[in-house]
Amino acid sequence: MFNTSALRRSFYTARLAQAMAATVAFVSLSASLAVAGQHSDGRLFFDHVPRLVRTTTSAITATYVGGATYEFTITVPQDAGASLHAVTIRQEPGLGTVAFNPNESRAIAANGANIPLASIGGASETDTTIAFEQPIQPGETVTVTLKADRTPTLEGVYLYGITAYPVGDQSNGLFLGYGRVQIYGHGG
């Protein structure tokens, strides 16, 4: 014998579940369209975090050697929600200070092309802010290189805090984490 009331309940339960799923999807989509990448006061933010994927120095990892280049590679995810406008690289206090020459700072795309810089500055000798002339788009990778006059005089681990800024005059910076560089003694 065929139970039509059970079939009817199953049909209505399935239709109700579909309607609820459609409502949730519509509300979620509407909410993300309304606020994706921008606060109500106009400040921009990243929907998904850019990532610091690599920190290194040129082959020079010994103390007090001239001409070292420090590299910080950042990937902007495809779903970032905003382009990368600038990064601040801040050396954490500790062993000593690496003196960077801001005039020799560069940015390089994943394909090796130079990315023009709009400005280079910093609040102190341990902070360097690099602003890109054309923002780094979601899905792209950039390597920021800072040239040091010399590697530090003390061996040890040096940490560099990386903060990323989306496009916009009123954007919130987002701390990406620390890049780590090991400097060895002359024998290292």
Task: Give the residue with greater pLDDT, 79 vs 41.
Answer: 79
Rounded mean pLDDT, 17-28? 42
What pTM was computed for the model?
0.76
Which pLDDT does position 37 carry in this prediction? 63
How many structural domains comprise the chain? 2
Domain span at 27: 1-35
- In a domain, residue 72? The reply is yes
Backbone angles phi, psi at 58, to 5 degrees: -55, 180
Q: What is the pLDDT of residue 33?
A: 31
pLDDT at 150 (0 to 100): 81
Structure token digits, residue 76: 């902007």
155 touches 183 (CB < 8 A): yes
Is pLDDT of 43 > 80? no
Residues 59 and 17 in one domain: no
- The average pLDDT across 137-148 equals 96
Higher pLDDT, 10 or 183: 183
Distance CA 167, CA 85 (A): 5
* Of 7 and 97, the one with more pLDDT: 97
Q: Are residues 18 and 96 in the same domain?
A: no
Rounded to whole angstroms, the Cα distance separating 103 from 84 reads 21
Q: Report if residue 40 sits inside a domain.
A: no
Q: Determine, yes or no, domain membership for 41.
A: no
Q: What is the mean pLDDT of the chain?
A: 80
Question: Are residues 1 and 80 located together in one domain of the fold?
Answer: no
pLDDT by residue (tens digit) across 93-137? 888 888 888 888 999 999 999 999 999 987 677 899 999 999 999
Please state the three-class secondary structure of the chain as a single string.
Answer: CCCHHHHHHHHHHHHHHHHHHHHHHHHHHHHHHHHCCECCCCCECCCCCCEEEEEEECCCCECCCECCEEEEEEECCCCCCCCEEEEEEEECCCCCCCCEEEEEEEEEECCCCECCEEEEECCCCCEEEEEEEEEECCCCEEEEEEEECECCCCCEEEEEEEEEEECCCCCCCEEEEEEEEEEECCCC
Termini Cα distance of the chain:
85
pLDDT tens for 51-99 read 999 999 886 788 888 888 999 999 999 999 999 999 999 999 888 888 8
Burial group, residue 139, by CB count within 10 angstroms (0-12, 13-18, 19+):
exposed
Residue 125: which CATH number?
2.60.40.1290
